[in-house]
């Protein structure tokens, strides 16, 4: 395989103009609003989306300068393997967020609970389905002991270096 090429289907617009200061998870930014501006050729794909309360967004970490296989994540002081974190500096800089769907107007999708930097290229939208996506017996590894920090945690710029 020589490579994989993705093309954005739209752009996510948010109040977060740079990574530093952006919430690190949507669960810590319940009131933050955003707009997905879908490219016109994908508008038809939004049909029937309004029946869902939440969406899974896959996007390109376009401001990520590179990656390291060991990173110190936002919720910890100890270096961890990048695949045991949600750090934006990854071998393939793909982000995943669960957002609350407010409404769809033509090719614009209005969302809340946003943790995405303004101007982020959107790769895909999937409906969040609790029966598919929520696992009752799931464990949170090292993050479990740090979840009390989530509401205060913001991007401090450490992955822009």
* Residue of 92 and 156 predicted with greater confidence: 92
Q: How far apart are CA 44 and CA 90, in angstroms?
A: 32
Q: What is the mean pLDDT of residues 67-77?
A: 90
Q: What are phi and psi of 12, to 5 degrees?
A: -100, 125
Average pLDDT over residues 75-99: 93
User: 3.30.470.10, 1.10.3720.10, 2.60.40.420, 2.40.30.70: which CATH number matches 10-130+139-151?
Assistant: 2.40.30.70
Q: Is residue 43 within 8 Å of residue 72, measured between CB atoms?
A: no
Q: How many CB atoms lie within 10 A of CB 138?
A: 6
Domains in the chain: boundaries: 10-130+139-151
- pLDDT higher than 70, residue 161: no
Global pTM value: 0.91
């Amino acid at each position: 395989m020589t490579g994989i090429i993705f093309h954005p289907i739209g752009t996510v617009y948010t109040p977060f103009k740079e990574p530093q200061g952006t919430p690190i998870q949507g669960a810590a930014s319940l009131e933050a609003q955003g707009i997905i501006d879908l490219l016109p050729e994908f508008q038809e794909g939004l049909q029937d989306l309004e029946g869902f309360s939440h969406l899974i967004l896959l996007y390109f970490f376009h401001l990520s300068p590179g990656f390291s296989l060991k990173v110190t994540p936002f919720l910890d002081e100890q270096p961890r393997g990048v695949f045991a974190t949600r750090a934006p500096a990854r071998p393939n800089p793909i982000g995943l967020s669960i957002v609350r769907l407010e409404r769809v107007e033509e090719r614009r999708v209005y969302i809340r609970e946003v943790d995405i930097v303004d101007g982020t290229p959107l790769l895909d939208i999937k409906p969040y389905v609790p029966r598919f996506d929520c696992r009752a017996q799931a464990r949170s590894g090292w993050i479990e002991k740090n979840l009390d920090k989530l509401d205060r945690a913001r991007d401090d710029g450490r992955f822009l270096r």
